[in-house]
Amino acid sequence: MGEKVVAVVGATGAVGQEMIKTLEQRNFPVKDLYLFASERSKGKKLKFKGYDIEVQELKEDVFKRYKIEIALFSAGATISKMFSPIAAKDGTIVIDNSSAFRMEQDVPLVIPEVNPEDVKFHKGIISNPNCSTIQMLVALKPIYDYSRIKRIIVSTYQAVSGAGGTAIGELEEEVKVYSQLGREGILNYKPSKFPYPIFMNVIPRIDIVLDNLYTKEEMKIVNETRKMLHDPDIKVSSTTVRVPVIKGHSESVWIETESKVTPEKARELLSKAKGVKVMDDPFNDVYPTPLLHGHDTDDVYVGRIREDISTENGLVMWIVADNLRKGAALNAVQIAELLL
């Protein structure tokens, strides 16, 4: 396994920093690591394997100049659309965490536990899926392979870190306001990141609302699921909700399979699946929660597995994962590992 010249684009953001940490923790064979961000972050220093690496401003010529072989992008769709084709043209393989190319026909959308073979078809750019789609499909793929899933209904409970560092700061500020001024203080607080205060609240809208009254985030789950399972006929419906949790997304997932899958069989399949941990003893309060299982964890945790009593071939389950790690940085690094 030869060492690679690697870059992280958007290195100072929450996901970018998680990418750097993940490269180190998984001992990815890095020959040289280059860190890029916007002009305002130029000169900042971030640690990798005990060394300080200075953040550089992202410019068009850096990929050719530094002979970068793999670039992990987490700088937003606008930057990805601008710089990823340039990097690919200069011989860099881009693994992009934004939504910019996910639904492009010639760009693979990959979860290593779900569709690793798709990575072979890349033309210089590979897309990292949406965080909510990643954790859901890691848990559902073993069941899908046993008995095709006909229908998925999912409600997500997404942490504020999914909306970036500003959102985390907003929640923390609202906690302070409540501690000083109580509920009235929160009611009078004017948030900038969300339409309403998130502390003591849930907001049933993530991203813009589309013409079909689903949000863009909800349709990402629908369309990405169909693409990665290579199943355009699977029926998917989602409701995405922001909750006052800093890190760790949770999902309530209902599925309908073509043939009967008992909860016992589902537990057996999931317990053998790579990247999945089953925590399912509700009588003794054994089930995953974002506080305990959504922080600095690599696995997708599944619990509350039970038969859906409203339909013949239905299952219901509860899924938790670290949205910044498995939902973004780790999945991107795992894709890079596939390339090796």
pLDDT in tens, 155-192: 999 999 999 989 999 999 999 999 999 999 999 999 99
Pairing outcome for strands 70-73 and 93-96: parallel
Q: Provide the 8-state DSSP code for 190.
A: -
Q: State whether residue 317 is helix, strand or coil.
A: strand
Q: Determine, yes or no, domain membership for 239.
A: yes
Which CATH number fits the domain that encloses residue 78? 3.40.50.720
The answer to whether residues 256 and 216 belong to one domain is yes
Cβ neighbours of 51 (radius 10 Å):
9
Structural domains counted in the chain = 2
Which CATH number fits the domain that encloses residue 278? 3.30.360.10
Q: Provide the 8-state DSSP code for 112.
A: T
Q: Determine, yes or no, domain membership for 106.
A: yes
The answer to whether residues 110 and 140 belong to one domain is no
230 flagged as catalytic: no
pLDDT in tens, 270-279: 999 999 999 9
The answer to whether residues 75 and 160 belong to one domain is no
The answer to whether residues 88 and 231 belong to one domain is no
pLDDT attached to residue 2: 84
Structure tokens belonging to residue 9: 């684009």
Q: How far apart are CA 142 and CA 145, in angstroms?
A: 5
The answer to whether residues 47 and 192 belong to one domain is no
The answer to whether residues 27 and 62 belong to one domain is yes
CB 152 within 8 A of CB 254: yes
The answer to whether residues 196 and 265 belong to one domain is yes
The answer to whether residues 213 and 116 belong to one domain is no
Q: State whether residue 279 is helix, strand or coil.
A: coil
Q: Determine, yes or no, domain membership for 194.
A: yes
Q: Provide the 8-state DSSP code for 38.
A: -
Q: Determine, yes or no, domain membership for 173.
A: no
Q: How far apart are CA 278 and CA 87, in angstroms?
A: 40
Q: Determine, yes or no, domain membership for 254.
A: yes
Beta sheet of 300-307, edge-to-edge order: 235-242, 149-158, 249-257, 314-321, 300-307, 276-278
Q: How far apart are CA 134 and CA 192, in angstroms?
A: 28
Q: Which of 122, 230, 249, 295 is catalytic?
A: 249
Q: What stretches in the chain show pLDDT beneath 50?
A: none
Beta sheet of 30-37, edge-to-edge order: 45-48, 51-57, 30-37, 4-9, 70-73, 93-96, 125-127
pLDDT attached to residue 1: 59
The answer to whether residues 204 and 236 belong to one domain is yes
Where do the DSSP E strands lie in the chain? 4-9, 30-37, 45-48, 51-57, 70-73, 93-96, 125-127, 149-158, 235-242, 249-257, 276-278, 300-307, 314-321
The answer to whether residues 278 and 141 belong to one domain is yes
The answer to whether residues 125 and 192 belong to one domain is no
Q: Which of 122, 131, 230, 293 is catalytic?
A: 131
Say what the pTM is: 0.96
pLDDT attached to residue 89: 97
The answer to whether residues 125 and 142 belong to one domain is no
131 flagged as catalytic: yes
* Domain of residue 204, residue span: 133-166+181-323
Q: Determine, yes or no, domain membership for 171.
A: no
Q: Determine, yes or no, domain membership for 303.
A: yes
Q: Determine, yes or no, domain membership for 175.
A: no
Q: How far apart are CA 147 and CA 324, in angstroms?
A: 30
Q: State whether residue 140 is helix, strand or coil.
A: helix
pLDDT attached to residue 85: 97
Q: State whether residue 286 is helix, strand or coil.
A: strand
